[in-house]
Amino acid sequence: MSRIESTTFRDSLSVSFTVGAYGTAFGAAAVANGFSVVQAALLSLLTFSGASQFAVVGVLGAGGSAFSGIVTASLLGVRNGVYGVIMAPRLKVRGFKRVVAAQITIDESTAVALGQESRSESAMRQGFWLTGFGVFFFWNLFTLAGALGAQAMGDIRVWGLDSAVPAAFLGLVWPRLKSNRDKFLAISCVCFALAMTPILPAGLPIIATAFIAIAVGVRA
Amino acid sequence: MNAFWIATIGTSVIAFLLKYIGHNVPERFFAHPKVQSVNTLIPIALLSALVAVQTFTEKSKLMIDHRLAGLVVAIIALFLKAPFPIVVISAAFTSAAIYNWF
């Protein structure tokens, strides 16, 4: 690997630390929703995709089945697969390196890599690896801190953790609401999920909104 | 094995497979604009539904409680372009204050 460009290094590190720090919120949310500290830590190590992780703890916390939790998390994880399609021809790695690259293919590593592409091809690759490993390190560290902290708290409502989870989801969706179509979809899904909650088993109203997204996306 | 373990392992295995399969699919496979459009819309749908369900429901019943105050503060924080940790902490703080005082 050639010399690491200082701008790439700075971009990667700042993203890694800020994003990794959200791990605290995830660790706390997992424990608040009934997951153990070990399960929270494993989700961050193995699933390693914030939105999917929040989704699975959110669905089980709301009384949904393991199946509903897995499906919701996986639908959110499809995004990472698409990033993989974009990154593979740029990284050009095989075998074990490809396995490692796949595991750290997330929103942030892809975004930083593509952001460095105008600088140089090596800066783009460095951005991907540095951000991927950086977020992985801090995300896991802070997940553990959040999970242990929440375990020590007791009644989570006293600390407002039951509001931290929906606020985290809102923080994740907010920057994605760019066009009027996005906002219309978001509001429709809120109404649909609430209307279906008393009727469908917990978790299914959330999964069903993916079909609204498909309908809107195909029609447009 | 209880539901929490099944969810932890199942989510992790599928999450990795999705990433790995992506790295092994030719790029032209995803070139269609409708596929890309659906790909950006699905997270919006699921995350919005999760916000709603986590704020307004309790065991399959609709409910308005202290969590609404947290959500309102989170929305205000986002309108003011606050960073993510501030959004989460201000929501938690507000919700805790309402829960503890009323």
pLDDT digits 0-9 by tens, A176-205: 999 999 999 999 999 999 999 999 888 889
- Percent of chain A whose pLDDT exceeds 70: 98
Give whole-number Cα distances, A72 to A20, A67, A207, B36, B56, in Å: 22, 9, 6, 19, 19
In a domain, B72, yes or no: yes
Instruction: Identify the pLDDT of residue A71.
Output: 96
Among residues 7-26 of chain B, which lie with CB inside 8 Å of chain A?
7-16, 18-26
Summarised one tens digit per residue, pLDDT across range A79-109 is 899 889 889 989 999 999 999 999 999 988 9
In a domain, B12, yes or no: no
Cβ neighbours of A170 in B, within 8 Å: 47, 51, 71, 74-75, 78, 87
Backbone angles phi, psi at B61, to 5 degrees: -120, 145
Instruction: Identify the pLDDT of residue B43.
Output: 86
Residue found by looking up tokens 């553990």 in the block: A144
Q: Which residues face B61 on adjacent strands?
A: B58
- Assess contact for A26 and A44: CB atoms under 8 A: yes
* pLDDT surpassing 80 at residue B29: no
In a domain, B8, yes or no: no
- Cα–Cα dist A208/A189, whole Å: 9
Among B13, B17, B18, most A C-beta atoms within 10 A, so best to mutate, is: B18
Summarised one tens digit per residue, pLDDT across range A13-23 is 888 888 888 89
Range(s) of the domain holding residue B80:
64-102
B43: closest CA among A127, A156, A177, A188? A177
DSSP state of B61: E
Instruction: Identify the pLDDT of residue A35.
Output: 97
B63 close to A (CB below 8 A): no
* pLDDT surpassing 90 at residue A165: no
ipTM score of the complex?
0.88
In a domain, B9, yes or no: no
* pLDDT surpassing 90 at residue A137: yes
Residue found by looking up tokens 């690759």 in the block: A125
Which residue is closest to A93 within chain B, CA to CA?
B23
* pLDDT surpassing 80 at residue B28: no
Cβ neighbours of B6 in A, within 8 Å: 66, 70
Q: For chain A, how many residues are written?
A: 220
A56: closest CA among A78, A85, A36, A35? A35
* pLDDT surpassing 70 at residue A1: no
A154 close to B (CB below 8 A): no
Mean pLDDT in residue range A162-174: 87
Buried b (16+ CB within 10 A) or exposed e, A28-46: bbbbbbebebebbbbbbeb
- Percent of chain B whose pLDDT exceeds 70: 100
- Cα–Cα dist A109/A137, whole Å: 13
pLDDT averaged over chain A?
91
In a domain, B79, yes or no: yes
Mean pLDDT in residue range B80-97: 91
Give whole-number Cα distances, A110 to A80, A88, A189, A215, in Å: 9, 11, 27, 27
The minimal CB distance from B4 to the residues A60, A85, A166 is found for A60
Q: Which residues contact A57 (CB under 8 A, 6 or more apart)?
A: A26, A29, A30, A33, A35, A40, A43, A69, A165
Which residue is closest to A78 within chain B, CA to CA?
B18
Which residue is closest to A65 within chain B, CA to CA?
B3
Summarised one tens digit per residue, pLDDT across range B56-84 is 998 788 999 999 999 999 999 999 999 88
* Token representation of residue A70: 């897995």
Among residues 63-122 of chain A, which lie with CB inside 8 Å of chain B?
63, 65-66, 69-70, 72-89, 98-99, 101-103, 105
pLDDT band per the 50, 70, 90 thresholds, residue A3: low
Summarised one tens digit per residue, pLDDT across range A113-132 is 988 887 888 999 999 999 99
**What's the structural domain count of chain B?**
1
